[in-house]
Structure 1
């Protein structure tokens, strides 16, 4: 029976834990786990909470502007809005000037749940950053901003602060 040929790497192996992308993805997994643990009573995802927060600050955003505010593409923005609308946390209204455009508004119930979740969301953020000193937290956030701002154009959806 002939031996099966195996491919060999021609480049040195870079350990996963030396790759920024791997570590960022892993940190995102950890963040989601902590967020869901802290916010378990609300059945809201981090993306949904971000969208509710954006709409509480800027009610009436159209779907495109809302997607830019939270860094989501059009399809995912529409999907998240649909789920929030089904739960009665958001309403969408047709634009009076452009029938192709819908504006999103947070409902009273959506605002109530966003406010009720605030302490749990802050707790999740604090737990995530707990291993860092105050000085390191500030530097870490500063560096994250540099990376996100400098590479924003490469994401599936750009982000534009409100």
Structure 2
């Protein structure tokens, strides 16, 4: 099982590199795309990482012109730029196809069960 997880992670990272992204950057773009105006601290909680990790990710994506920050009260709210939205629209279908290929041996019910179990294990 660990071999499968490692292989999927490596192949997925290689696929995202073709778009100039790391897996963490992709996940941040997805979260900001789904929740425009999300506060940076909310991403810290969602990812379960430090403020410094999220700050560095945001800084790199901001420098690349994919994300923009707006200071609202005491926090930074994030949104995708037009370039960020366009990139995400190209990457998401390719990533979804990649994930579909990885789990093609499972039928819909098995995949739903697997995801439910993984989510249960991932909860702190």
Q: Smaller-chain TM-score range? A: 0.7 to 0.9
Residues 28, 104 of structure 1: CA spacing in aligned structure 2 closer, same or farther, 3 A cutoff?
farther
Residue 145 in structure 1 maps to residue 119 in structure 2 = yes
Match of 2:34 among 53, 57, 73: 57
Count of residue correspondences: 124
Residue 34 in structure 1 maps to residue 11 in structure 2 = yes
Runs of 4+ aligned residues of structure 1 deviating over 4 Å after TM superposition are: none
Residue 72 in structure 1 maps to residue 52 in structure 2 = no
**TM-score scaled by length of structure 1:** 0.67
Structure 2: which 5+ runs fail to align? none
**TM-score scaled by length of structure 2:** 0.85
- How far apart, CA to CA, are the structure 1 residues paired with 2:81 and 2:70? 12
The Cα shift of 1:128 comes to 2.3
- How far apart, CA to CA, are the structure 2 residues paired with 1:88 and 1:135? 40
What are the Cα deviations for residues 125-160 of structure 1, in whole angstroms up to 9, with x where unaligned? 1122123333322211111011112xx2xxxxxxxx
- How far apart, CA to CA, are the structure 2 residues paired with 1:47 and 1:40? 11
Partner of 2:79: 105
What are the Cα deviations for residues 5-43 of structure 1, in whole angstroms up to 9, with x where unaligned? xxxxxxxxxxxx7xxxxx3xx544322222134334311
Residues 47, 146 of structure 1: CA spacing in aligned structure 2 closer, same or farther, 3 A cutoff?
same
Q: Is the 8 A contact 1:84 1:90 kept in 2?
A: yes
**Higher RCO by CA contacts (8 Å cutoff, separation 6 or greater):** 1
What are the Cα deviations for residues 77-119 of structure 1, in whole angstroms up to 9, with x where unaligned? 1111111111100111222x33xx2222211100110111111
Q: Which has the higher helix share?
A: 2
- How far apart, CA to CA, are the structure 2 residues paired with 1:29 and 1:79? 25
Bigger-Rg structure (1/2): 1
